[in-house]
Amino acid sequence: MNQQENIYVIGHKNPDTDSICSAIAYTDIKNRTERKVYTAKRAGQINEETEYVLNRFGMEAPGYISDVGAQVRDMEIHKTQGAPSSITIKRAWELMKENGAVTLPITTQENKLEGIITIGDIAKYYMDAYDKTIMSDARTQYRAMADTLGGTIVTGNEHGYFIKGKVLVGAANPEFLDKWMEDDDLIIVGDREDVQMRAIMNNASCIVVSLGADISEEVTELARKKSCMIISSPYDTYTVARLINQSIPVKHLMKKTDLVTFQTDDFVDNIKDVMGRLRHRDFPVLNKKGCYLGTISRRNLINVNKKKLILVDHNEESQAVDNIGEAEILEIVDHHRLGSLETIQPIAFRNQPVGCTATILFQIYNEKQLEIPENIAGLLCAAIISDTLMFRSPTCTKYDQEAALELAEIAHIDVEAFANEMFRAGSNLSGKSPEEIFYQDFKKFIMEDVTFGVGQINSMNAEELEEIEGRLKPFMENECGKHGISMVFFMLTNIIGESTRLMCYGENSTKLVADAFHVRVDNGISILPGVVSRKKQLIPAFLATLQNNN
C-alpha cells in the first residue's frame, strides 16, 4: 500500500493523556479489523503525565505531525528515470520520448541531482548550431560518436575524447583540405582514398567514413602511425553530418545551477506560486537526503491526494492539527460538545456523553469482540483516570468508572496507587518554563466574535499550584492578544480539594467569570469550589454567559 493510503489517527493540539492513548488504541482496533494501514499521530508535544503513562506500559509516543496540508509526497510524482551526464544528446532525446517527458533529470551514481535538460534545450541547441568546435568543447568521446552514427571504430582508442579542433566535411578535392584543415580537426569523408589519406596526413584527430565504404589497409596503417581515429558509419554523408552533433555528452547542455527543485515534505500551498511564476513544464522532486525521486508539473496540482484522518478526543477546528481543512476526515470519536469542524461528505461520528474518549474505545473493543492487550488496557485506564480526575469530575459517568476498573484488572494495576503516581508525574513542573506550563493543556474556543483560551493544571499539591500561579501571571498578560485570543484563563485545579483557582486576563475576562459563576474576582483570581472540569463546568458556563450577553 502506498504512502498516500496511510490513514492517520490523531488527537488535538496540546494533547493530554486521553488524546494520545485513544489515538494509539483506536489505531490498534482499526489495524486489527480493516485491511488498511492506520498510524497513530500526535499534533503537539507530550506532557509529563502522558510520558509517564507511555513509559509505564512500554509504549512509544505517536509520531509528531504539525500540519496536514497537502504535501509534494501527496501528489502524483512522475517516476522519470534519471540519466548519467555522460549519455549523448541523442540518447537523452530517446529517453524523453520513451517516457513521454519533456524534462530529463541528470543524476549521479548516488542518485543525486546533477542537472536537468529539456526538449527545449535540445531544440535550441540545434537551431543555434553554428559553432564548428562545439564537439571538442564538449569533450565528445569517440565511442559515443560511433554509437550515435550506428558505426564501428576501425582503429584508435574508443575511450579517447575529441578535445581540440573543428568538424569539417571533406567533400571537395584533397587540395581543399590543405586550405581549410587545421591540426586535430575531425573530417567526415566518403569513399575516396586520396581524401582519406590527405586528411590523415594533415593531422586529423579522427576521420568518419560514410556509407560504410571500404577502408584500405594503407589508410588504416597510416592512421595508426599518425594516431588518427577511424570511424566507419553506414549512413550517407548528409546523415552523418546531421547526427554527429547528437553525440556530445548531455552534461555540456544541461542546466547545472539555480535548479528549482522541491522536497517531498514541501507543502503544496508553498510551491504553487513558484510553479506558476516559473512556468517550467516539470520540476524535480528530492527526498530528505537530497536523492532524486521523480518530477511533478502544474497538472499534478489538480488531483492532489488529501491526507486521510480519523480524529479522536476533539471535533473543534481550533483544536485540530493545522490545515485540517485540507485533509479528508473519515471518522470522529469524541466525548465533547459538537464543535466547528465541517466535512465534505457524511462520516462516521461517534460522540457519547461520557467522561473520556477512552471509555468509548473500551466499548468498541467489546463490541468487536477484540481482546484488549495488557499495555493498551493500561493506557485506556490511565486516560479515564486522568480525564475524570480519578472519578471526581462531574463529567465522570458509571460507564467511565466501570471501564476503568475492568481495564485496571487487565493491566494488573491498582487504580488508586497508579493514579497517585500518574498525577504526581503530571504535576511535577520543575524545570519547565511558564510557556511550557501554560500550553501543556491549553485549548482555544470561539463563540461568534469572541475567541478565548483556557489552560489547566491538575495537582494534588496545593503549594505547587500556588507556586505555578506566581510564575504564570506575567506570562498570561504577555500572551493575551496573540493568535486572535482576546481573553486567557488558567485553571489551577486541586484534585484533593475538588476546587479550582481560576486566573483570568484580558478585556471583559473578569466580567465573564463573575457573570458565569457569580463569584468575586480579586486581582484576576477567583475561587471556584466544586469546579474541576473545563469541558463540563467551565466552558458551558462561559458559552452560555457569552450567548446571553450577546
Q: Is 359 a member of any domain?
A: yes
> In the listed set 286, 301, 316, which residue is the last one of a domain according to the structure?
301
Predicted pLDDT at 26: 98
Question: Which three three-digit cell numbers place residue 457?
Answer: 493544571
Q: What one-character-per-residue DSSP string does 129-147 give?
A: ---TTHHHHTTEEHHHHHH
Predicted pLDDT at 4: 44
Q: Is 132 a member of any domain?
A: no
| pTM score above 0.75 | no
**Exposed (0-12), middle (13-18) or buried (19+): which is 50, by Cβ within 10 Å?**
buried
Cα distance between residue 129 and residue 166, in whole Å: 13
Q: Is 134 a member of any domain?
A: no
- Could you tell me if 182 and 266 lie in one domain? no
Q: In this structure, are residues 321 and 65 in contact, taking their beta carbons and an 8 Å threshold?
A: yes
Smallest CA-to-CA distance from 389 within 497, 466, 471, 270 is with 497
Predicted pLDDT at 130: 64
Predicted pLDDT at 211: 94
Which residues partner with 88 through β-bridges?
249
Cα distance between residue 96 and residue 244, in whole Å: 19
Cα distance between residue 32 and residue 546, in whole Å: 45
Residues of the chain with pLDDT under 50: 1-4
Q: How many domains does the chain have?
A: 4
Q: Is 441 a member of any domain?
A: yes
- Could you tell me if 264 and 361 lie in one domain? no
> In the listed set 395, 426, 457, which residue is the last one of a domain according to the structure?
426
- Could you tell me if 120 and 267 lie in one domain? yes
Q: In this structure, are residues 145 and 136 in contact, taking their beta carbons and an 8 Å threshold?
A: no
Q: Is 502 a member of any domain?
A: yes
Amino acid, single-letter form, for residue 221: E
Predicted pLDDT at 419: 92
Predicted pLDDT at 424: 82
Three-state SS sequence of 442-491: EEEEEECCEEEEEEEEEECCHHHHHHHHHHHHHHHHHHCCHHHCCEEEEE
Place of cell 579522427: 206
- Could you tell me if 319 and 413 lie in one domain? yes
- Could you tell me if 387 and 311 lie in one domain? yes
3-class DSSP state for residue 168? strand
Cα distance between residue 106 and residue 118, in whole Å: 11
Predicted pLDDT at 67: 93
- Could you tell me if 218 and 317 lie in one domain? no
**Nearby residues of 513 by Cβ (< 8 Å), 6 or more positions away:** 489, 502, 504, 519, 521, 526
- Could you tell me if 422 and 311 lie in one domain? yes
Question: Which three three-digit cell numbers place residue 431?
Answer: 524545570
- Could you tell me if 196 and 242 lie in one domain? yes
Give residue 80's domain range.
74-127+252-301
Q: Is 148 a member of any domain?
A: yes
Predicted pLDDT at 463: 81
Bridge-based pairing state of the strands 487-494 and 499-505:
antiparallel
Cα distance between residue 134 and residue 311, in whole Å: 62
Q: Is 62 a member of any domain?
A: yes
